[in-house]
Structure 1
Amino acid sequence: MAQTDVLLTKQPAPQTISPCELPPKLYHVACNTGEHSSSGLATAGFRTAKYLMDEWYQNSYARYHQAFLDREHSERQRQESQQLAVETSTLAQRTQQDSTIKVGERLEEMHCWKSNLQQEVEDLTSETNLLLAQKLRLERALDATALPFSIAMDNLQCRDRRQHPDLVRDYVEEELLKEAELIRHIQELLKRTIQQAVTQIRLNREQKEVCEMGFSDKVESYNIDQACSRYHNDCTEVRFHLHSTKFEESASTPESWVKFSQDMLFRAEHERLGSVHLRSIIDSILRDTSEDLRVQADVVNQAFERRCEELEDTQNKLKFHLQKLLREITDQERQILNLKQAIKDKEAPLRVAQTRLYQRARRPNVELCRDTAQFRLVSEVGELNMSLTLLREKLQDAEQALCNLEDSRMALEKDLAVKANSLFIDRQKCMAHRHRYPTVLQLAGYQ
């Protein structure tokens, strides 16, 4: 070990200390008061400080020992550093692989939910379109009921123009009133069903928007995680982010995330199933209402047919009786003429008999005798007067009968006109108008 030369009056310049060397010691020999000053036997009687051989060997051994310790510590630290580097590298690689696996598993889970949401959005879109078609059918069916209602009301108004005694509340009118009431109830039902369809369509669209937002968020998150899964140590896009390990206050837990997705799918499926159920109800309503309207229309048509047959039968009977009545009037008029002629024919014999009695009453004195001829003439006059009285009574009865026949003729003709008017209203007005009644397909909303 080389001895260090020390100036007595001047401090040495600072030296660079090697990691394996001890720090140099500064000795204040001049004053002999330093921390490392020599105050032993080596300095006794001398003005300069010198080490003893034992001290020199001791110092050398100390330097050897310190160098050995430092070298041993350095080797141990180097081995530990190498082992730590290998372990940390392995741990970092294993941790990165595990993180990549976890991100991949998260991608698979998110892809599953994303696919379910996408399928639910497509199902909701298809279901909403189907419900819109059903709503259009309902609106068409509601528009189609306007014509039957106008036909029924027009039939009722036309039948109000019937004349007495045909202005009756018959079974045709009752069926027409039932038809009008049925149409009103059906219109109210269709309006309520349309409102329900509008509400369900709104709910479907709202839930579809919610699912689309959830799908969009999951697509964005999926893209982020997919990009994260592609990152590696040699990637140029990675950089340090000091505060990236801090959890956001608004971050959700896996349980709340799954529950939110499940609730979103459950609500969407609930609305979709409700829409499917409503569509089946709409099908049933349209089918039942169209069938009910057609059945009632057929009942009304049958009632009209039967009523027209009754009117025709009554009209034919009235015509038959009118013909007989006209023949009886002709016969009665002829009989009246015969009676008048018979009365006229009795006037001449009565004049003859009365003239005979008058002339015989001028016989003189005893010749004015009540003989058989006189009694016979008196009897003849009485018989002739009796015959004239009877003939005049018969003539009066015949004339009254003729008057009654004329009144009956007028009543029959008037009733025939009334029946003809009723038949014209029912057949030409009402039944002709009912030929415009919509078909079952139109009432079901297909046209």
Structure 2
Amino acid sequence: MELIGSTLTATYARPKTSHFLPAISTMASSYRNTQPALAMNPSANLWRTSSYYKSSSAVPATSSIQRENLDLVRANTMFYPSNRSALTTRYTPDDWYKSNQNNYRESESSRKSAERLRKDTLRLMQDREQLTRRTQENTSKNIGERLNDIIFWRSELSHETDNMVTEIAALNEVKRRLERALAETEGPLQVSQECLYHREKRMSIDLVHDDVEKDLIKEVSVIKSCQERMRRHLDRAVAQLVSNRAAQHELERDMSDKVAAQRIDDRCHHLRNTSDGIGYYRGIDRLDPSLSLPDSWSKFTDDNILHSQSERAASHKLRDEIEILLNTTSSEMWNQFNNVNVAFTNRISETADTKNSLQTHLAKTLQEIFQTEMLIESLKKALRDKECPLKVAQTRLEERTHRPNVELCRDNPYHRLVSEVREIEDTIHKLQERLIEAENTLQTLVKTKVTLEHDLSIKANSLFLDQEKCMSMRKSFPSMPRLVGYT
């Protein structure tokens, strides 16, 4: 339906089915519960006038009939917009009179306030103009003093940075010398190890743990010890260079910040009221982007300078230690190199003398072998020479055994022939024994000859290894300037 004198509300049409809308009892209960819901939310009643509240408050709360009548009045007021508008737009004559009086009083008060404000404002403008001028002058003075502080610390940073750059260059040079010296030790170490390797090729009895081998092992140990110390100092130099560059970076960054701050403060110092580029920055005075105070600001730069000086002192001390190390290691390696050379010289001389003695004994042994061989030939010839006499004597005895009867007599010729046979056999036996002894002696001489020749080959091999292989390699030992890192 449509109400006259009100806005058009929604029009509902009942559907054909009977299950679309709820029961009538349910709708009635929802209408009766409208005002309690409003009572639970007091803010929903703020739009009503006081007259409405006065009339509604007079309704007793004890009578159920009066409550139902009040609900009907409120329902009529709520659901008829024309009645609601009429109630909320009414004022009393007392309200109208009071409004006029308030306007008169406010007009007089505003005029007096405006006059007082005008006088106070003129005085305030003059005072604030002078205060602004003095504050601006003081601010410019403070910025100028700040510029002097920045210039001072900037010069200190620049001086310290130059010193640090010089120290880094000096430490780099010492580090390069140490690297060259460490590289130079690889040659002597390889030579010493090669000498030990070649001396392992000695044969038989010459494979002894002599003084040369002891000194070579000691030389390898000395070189490796020097290399280890050099590597440790080289690692320290690398770490110190990192620390030096870090300190230099901090100085340069601080100085860069100082340059930027000086440029900004110098521009601020020269800003005037008539300068270009000035403008409003709302709320900038309430923003505090500062990260430090004047004390911490100066302490920060002073700490950077002190840290740089400390790193420079440590770097200088490390350079001195590296210089001492280079001199010490070069002396140790050179002393051990000379000791090994002396041991090699003594061993070569001893081996050469032994080789000469062996050659002499070999020559005598060869001569004796020749004579023994001649003796053996003589003995063999003597044995051959005894064969015919023995045959003759034995043949005579055998022929005499064929004498007939009584003629088979043991006469003097028989005894002589028997004695002759035994004598020749004894001679042959002794010659054979002497032949065997001569042959055994010859075998011994031959073995001695082989032993001497083998020992001579061993001594020749040892001399070749020590004199030709090892000593020729040791001539490439670096000089003292190269061992301390100079080219």
Bucket of the pairwise TM-score, normalised by the shorter protein: 0.5 to 0.7
Alignment-derived partner of residue 185 in structure 2: 145
Alignment-derived partner of residue 307 in structure 2: 267
Say whether 1:293 aligns with 2:333: yes
Say whether 1:160 aligns with 2:200: yes
AA aligned to 2:237 is A
Alignment-derived partner of residue 380 in structure 2: 340
Structure 1 length normalisation: TM-score?
0.68
Name the CA distance, whole Å, in 2 between partners of 1:386 and 1:354: 14
Q: Secondary structure at the match of 1:435?
A: helix
Per the TM alignment, residue 168 of structure 1 is displaced from its structure 2 partner at its CA by 4.1
> After superposition, where does 1:24-423 map in structure 2 within 5 Å?
111-219=151-259, 250=290, 252-362=292-402, 365-423=405-463
Per the TM alignment, residue 125 of structure 1 is displaced from its structure 2 partner at its CA by 0.4
Per the TM alignment, residue 289 of structure 1 is displaced from its structure 2 partner at its CA by 2.4
**Which deviates further from its counterpart, 426-435 or 292-301?**
292-301
Name the CA distance, whole Å, in 2 between partners of 1:114 and 1:206: 18
Q: Secondary structure at the match of 2:476?
A: coil
Say whether 1:442 aligns with 2:479: no
Name the CA distance, whole Å, in 2 between partners of 1:158 and 1:366: 90
Per the TM alignment, residue 410 of structure 1 is displaced from its structure 2 partner at its CA by 1.8
Alpha-carbon spacing, 1:258–1:167, altered in 2? closer, same or farther (3 Å): same
Name the CA distance, whole Å, in 2 between partners of 1:216 and 1:204: 18
Name the CA distance, whole Å, in 1 between partners of 2:388 and 2:297: 134
**Which deviates further from its counterpart, 417-426 or 358-367?**
358-367
Gaps of 5+ in 2: 1-126
Name the CA distance, whole Å, in 1 between partners of 2:430 and 2:364: 28
Q: Deviations over 1:91-127 (max 9, x none)?
A: 97xx979986x88876666555333322211111011
Alpha-carbon spacing, 1:240–1:410, altered in 2? closer, same or farther (3 Å): closer
Name the CA distance, whole Å, in 2 between partners of 1:437 and 1:239: 75
**Which deviates further from its counterpart, 162-171 or 265-274?**
162-171
**Which deviates further from its counterpart, 411-420 or 241-250?**
241-250
Per the TM alignment, residue 339 of structure 1 is displaced from its structure 2 partner at its CA by 1.4
Per the TM alignment, residue 351 of structure 1 is displaced from its structure 2 partner at its CA by 3.5
AA aligned to 1:404 is T
Name the CA distance, whole Å, in 1 between partners of 2:247 and 2:287: 30
Q: Deviations over 1:12-66 (max 9, x none)?
A: xxxxxxxxxxxxxxxxxxxxxxxxxxxxxxxxxxxxxxxxxxxxxxxxxxxxxxx
RMSD over aligned CA atoms reads 3.8
Name the CA distance, whole Å, in 1 between partners of 2:331 and 2:174: 18
Q: Secondary structure at the match of 2:204?
A: coil
AA aligned to 2:422 is G
Q: Secondary structure at the match of 1:268?
A: helix
AA aligned to 2:305 is L
AA aligned to 2:178 is L
Alpha-carbon spacing, 1:347–1:264, altered in 2? closer, same or farther (3 Å): same
Name the CA distance, whole Å, in 2 between partners of 1:406 and 1:418: 18
Name the CA distance, whole Å, in 1 between partners of 2:288 and 2:405: 168
Name the CA distance, whole Å, in 2 between partners of 1:359 and 1:207: 129
AA aligned to 1:175 is D
Q: Secondary structure at the match of 2:415?
A: helix
Q: Deviations over 1:273-304 (max 9, x none)?
A: 11112212222222222222223333333333
Per the TM alignment, residue 149 of structure 1 is displaced from its structure 2 partner at its CA by 2.7
Q: Secondary structure at the match of 1:446?
A: coil
Gaps of 5+ in 1: 1-84
AA aligned to 1:134 is V
Name the CA distance, whole Å, in 2 between partners of 1:257 and 1:170: 71
**Which deviates further from its counterpart, 298-307 or 197-206?**
298-307
Alignment-derived partner of residue 117 in structure 2: none
Alignment-derived partner of residue 50 in structure 2: none
Alpha-carbon spacing, 1:405–1:414, altered in 2? closer, same or farther (3 Å): same
Q: Deviations over 1:164-189 (max 9, x none)?
A: 34344444334333333443444344
Alpha-carbon spacing, 1:391–1:226, altered in 2? closer, same or farther (3 Å): same
Name the CA distance, whole Å, in 2 between partners of 1:338 and 1:192: 80
Name the CA distance, whole Å, in 1 between partners of 2:406 and 2:285: 177
AA aligned to 1:396 is I
Q: Which has the higher helix share?
A: 2
Name the CA distance, whole Å, in 2 between partners of 1:154 and 1:96: 85
